[in-house]
Structure 1
Amino acid sequence: MSQPVIHKLETESHVADALATYIADLSAKFIAANGSFSVVLSGGTLIDTLRKLLEPPYIKSIDWSKWLIFFLDERVVPLDHPDSNYKLAYDGFLSKCR
């Protein structure tokens, strides 16, 4: 059995860059193979870390209409409540990737 590949990145900015490249590549691969790309979002700082996908070259290269987005740990509050992970995701990411 092969060893897992572990990447050590020095800063959050490096993580955001690496994550954007990884997700953009996976998105293209799965959309080509299956017609859609499923993403599961959690709360916390993940939404902010996805910010690089909203910048060139990623934002125009991703077929956002083929993304299926699910929430992992949504709180039991209205979607427009400040504690809602959906609101956090919408305000910080989803509203900007159309």
Structure 2
Amino acid sequence: MKYMINWNERPQGSAIEYENVQKRILEIFQHWEIPSEAKVHAFVVRVGEWGGSLLLEADDPLVVHKACSTFPAFQFDVRQVVDIQDAVRVEMEAIKWRDELPS
């Protein structure tokens, strides 16, 4: 299964609290490794923002849950996704089946 994981930093308190959270996030990230049971297709940060996107493939949804749980300073939006060619194929099958129904 493929997952599109988007994240933004949670709103913080004062400017100094925000700076401290930034340091902690980077400290944790320096030690974090992509899970061995996952394949990363894209891992990007949005320019000028404190957020990004990760396209990750994993058979076990708990791999995704654990990755998100590692960074509590972020708000995550996780969506299961499929490749466009697969989506179009099954959509065409559904349309064909629907068109064959008696009126």
Q: Under a length normalisation based on structure 1, what TM-score does the superposition of the two structures give?
A: 0.27
Which of the pair has the greater relative contact order for Cα pairs under 8 Å at 6+ separation?
2
Q: Larger % of helix: which?
A: 1
Q: Larger % of strand: which?
A: 2
The structure with the larger Rg is 2
